């Protein structure tokens, strides 16, 4: 009984630590990326800040849970997946800013739409905050990550740089690992296993 109570306390603390760390990272992102002027030249940087601000907002509003993974590996990949995109350079010369910003906007709509479907169940580290079947989750099991990836591709097109390409390549690997960690936790729930049988694909219908 004591060990179970300690586990629940640790889960609550870990939940709060996750929120605090992401808040600090968001402040750093705004400091580095806030444009000197609101113009088309800086549209991709503005969209990047807006997109990451939505992540923070939903993270702070989400409901707490005791069923969060305490595995160091899961926390490492979640931290990496949150931290790596914030290292991209926003000062690279623009390439196709219009196309890139449009893809950023599409990715933003996709991952915010997924978060709205989750309501207050959004988190970064693998956890079970309830199985969601509505909205975009009728199409793929992880539409939020699909939105992130689309946004990253858009920013890379808008501001191409070898650093950005390398970081987003690493981010893609981390997102896949996060999906695997989440599914390991969620598949302990019979209702999620039933959901996975109905919605076969994780990110892109017919591919993965």
Residue appearing with tokens 């997102």: 175
Average of per-residue pLDDT across 11-37: 74
Residue 117 has pLDDT above 90, yes or no: no
With bands split at pLDDT 50, 70 and 90, how would you rate the model's confidence at 6?
Answer: very low
CA angle 140, 122, 64 (to 5 degrees): 145
Q: What percent of the chain has pLDDT over 70?
A: 81
State pLDDT tens for residues 89-103: 877 888 888 899 899
Please list the alpha-helical segments (H only) found in 34-126. 43-61, 72-83, 97-118
State pLDDT tens for residues 123-154: 666 676 667 777 778 888 998 899 999 999 99
Average of per-residue pLDDT across 51-80: 74
Of 3-7, 119-123, 171-175, which one has max mean pLDDT? 171-175
Residue 31 has pLDDT above 50, yes or no: yes
What is the Cα 49 distance to its own chain's centre? 14
In CATH, what class is 2-198? mainly alpha
Give the CA radius of gyration of the chain: 17
- DSSP structure class, residue 188: T
Query: What confidence score (pLDDT) does residue 21 get?
Result: 77
Query: What confidence score (pLDDT) does residue 92 get?
Result: 82
Average of per-residue pLDDT across 102-106: 91
Residue 1 has pLDDT above 60, yes or no: no
State pLDDT tens for residues 149-193: 999 999 999 989 999 999 999 999 999 999 998 888 888 888 888
Average pLDDT score, the chain: 80
């Amino acid at each position: 009984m004591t060990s179970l109570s300690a586990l629940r306390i640790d889960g609550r603390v870990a939940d709060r630590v996750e929120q605090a760390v992401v808040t600090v990272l968001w402040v750093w992102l705004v400091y580095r990326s806030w444009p000197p002027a609101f113009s088309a030249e800086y549209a991709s940087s503005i969209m990047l800040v807006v997109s990451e601000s939505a992540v923070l907002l939903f993270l702070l509003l989400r409901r707490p849970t005791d069923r969060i993974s305490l595995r160091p590996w899961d926390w490492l990949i979640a931290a990496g997946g949150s931290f790596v995109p914030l290292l991209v350079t926003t000062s690279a010369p623009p390439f196709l800013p219009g196309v890139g910003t449009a893809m950023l906007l599409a990715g933003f709509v996709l991952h915010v739409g997924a978060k709205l479907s989750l309501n207050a169940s959004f988190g970064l580290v693998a956890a079970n905050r309830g199985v969601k079947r509505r909205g975009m989750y009728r199409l793929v099991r992880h539409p939020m990550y699909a939105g992130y990836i689309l946004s990253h591709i858009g920013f890379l097109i808008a501001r191409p740089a070898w650093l950005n390409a390398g970081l987003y390549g690493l981010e893609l690997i981390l997102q896949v690992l996060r999906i695997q960690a989440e599914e390991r936790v969620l598949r302990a729930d019979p209702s999620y296993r039933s959901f996975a049988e109905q919605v076969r694909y994780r990110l892109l219908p017919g591919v993965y």
